[in-house]
Amino acid sequence: MKIIARPPAFTYIKNHLHADRVPLSHLAEKHGTPLYVYSASTIRERFRTFDTAFKRIHHTVCYSVKANSNLSLLKMLAKMGSGFDVVSGGELERVLAVSRQAARKVVFSGVGKTAAEIDLALKADILIFNVESESELDLLANRAAKMKRKARMALRVNPDVFADTHPYISTGMREHKFGVPLHEVGDLYTRAAARKYLDVAGVSCHIGSQITAVDPFAKALGRVADLVRALQANGHNIRYVDAGGGLGIPYKDEEAETADFSAKSGAYAEALRNALGKLSVHLLLEPGRAIVAPAGLLLSRVLVTKQNGKKRFVIVDAAMNDLIRPALYSAYHSIIPEQWNPMQSSAQPVDVVGPICETGDFFARDRELPALKEGDLVAILDVGAYGMSISSNYNSRMKAAEVMIDGSSAKQVRKRETVKDLMRLES
């Protein structure tokens, strides 16, 4: 069988899987498993590639913090000049912890901002609020007036564009909870312009996540561009257009093998440029998964192998609390052995599952994998986004440690939780 890693982040050297130049077996010995491992060089390269694709238009890349909010990762991106897209006060606090100056490039999205979160963002003087409803518009105006701070704002419009992705992460149709319908936008902009402490500065849209075709993005932004022209003609000083994020990655081996991130980013940038036409605006972009997903893996150790009738199970020490995407979305993640000899081509279909008391605790079903035995290490790929950030303590399991690799150096960027950590806030 064919085993495909994710170069340049993860490659086989002398039959053992490495992160950059660090053997994963050494990381498992030092830090234990399950263990999240990230390649700093890959994250930097993908950020530069994405940013460069938009060099022909005024823009700011605002990394989507919800994809992976580790402080070391955020600090690295801030040093590269990245802005940030946040959807909670907690995410904003993380950005401020790594760089107070980065607040000037923060976009605050989300359908349910609280008064406390808005106050925090006003004090930090963020770049712009993406307002998602009439009631939120009133709340923002009232908080800004009370603090006597001008709030730059955009309305997030719902362009009613279908995106071929999982229904849980599609956000651009009229039946979704996000944004304001296009036919209601004009009146809300007029109301916003009448509020003394609101600066009507932009229009925002985001149609979903893990979208691999560029046409839906172009269609949505084309509708936004028409709206911007109408608003500008009515006297509104619209100078920002937020195109959201959502650019997908190839999770399956046969797709990843031929993927060219530079070409994909270029096609995406060209589609958005064409949709905007000659509009004189500053484009805001919110990539998350596209930057960090292929730069991360989850290292896990085989606990037990067992046969139930015709079914063969490989039970590993990672579980759905560590990586919920397969259980939540039926998401596909490649799984490869830490040690692999290409001369040994034998494989067998197995279910790779965790130890949690749920049938939904699985990473793969009927997956062809080389023979694995107890104590072997396996790597679950493409988990740099929405892996650790959605992890939990279900079954009172401790969250995994995280390690950042940069060339031949390895730095622990999050310690493994202890039982004491789990119970610290309880009485």
Q: Give me the active site residues, please.
A: 357
Q: Are 260 and 267 in contact (CB under 8 A)?
A: no
φ, ψ (nearest 5 deg) of residue 311: -90, 135
Q: What SS3 state is found at 209?
A: coil
Q: What is the DSSP string of 218-283?
A: HHHHHHHHHHHHHHHHTT----EEE----B----SHHHHTT--HHHHHHHHHHHHHHHHTT---EE
Q: What is the DSSP string of 45-71?
A: HHHHHHHHHTTTS-EEEEEEGGG---H
Torsion (CA) 423, 401, 288, 177 in degrees, nearest 10: -20
Q: What single-letter DSSP state applies at residue 358?
A: -
Q: How far is CA 23 from CA 11, 12, 312, 400, in A?
A: 10, 9, 29, 19
Burial pattern 179-195, b for ≥16 Cβ within 10 A else e, equals: bbebeebeebbeebeeb
For 7: left if phi > 0, alpha if psi spans -120 to 50, otherwise beta; the answer is beta
The residues that bridge with 204 in the sheet, in sequence order, are 156, 242
Q: Are 5 and 12 in contact (CB under 8 A)?
A: yes
- Of residues 210, 217, 221, the one with CA closest to residue 268: 217
Residue 32: other Cβ atoms inside 10 A? 14
Q: What single-letter DSSP state applies at residue 383?
A: -
Q: Which amino acid is at 230?
A: A
Torsion (CA) 336, 361, 30, 74 in degrees, nearest 10: 90
